[in-house]
Amino acid sequence: GYFYSRWSKCIWSSHDLSDMVYIDNYIFNKDVVVQFNSTVGEYVGYTELGVSSARAWNSNPGQLQGERAEVERFCKHNAEIFQTTITDKS
């Protein structure tokens, strides 16, 4: 069989969240096919299928705008909750 998965993660190292990076991976059979990195600002393909998918997705301004907004919507929102929870317990 074939295995498809997608995972997203947020990476940051400071309390002010100014260095936050959002990474969204599309994985097929344990290999990253396409990745969106908020620092790069667009999709990057790592396989033949990934390159063609990235080209198509990068030509859709709405899709790119949605992925770029995930830093604020998903990452920073959750990071603030995590930091508040940790700070309240110490």
Q: pLDDT for 29-41, tens place per residue?
A: 999 999 999 999 9
If you ran DSSP here, which 8-state letter would residue 19 be given? T
Domain boundaries, the chain: 4-88
What pLDDT does 89 receive? 65
Between vectors from CA 84 to CA 81 and to CA 88, what angle results, nearest 5°? 140
Q: What angle do CA 11, 16, 21 make, to 5 degrees?
A: 25
* Contact between 19 and 13 (Cβ < 8 Å): yes
Read off the pTM: 0.84
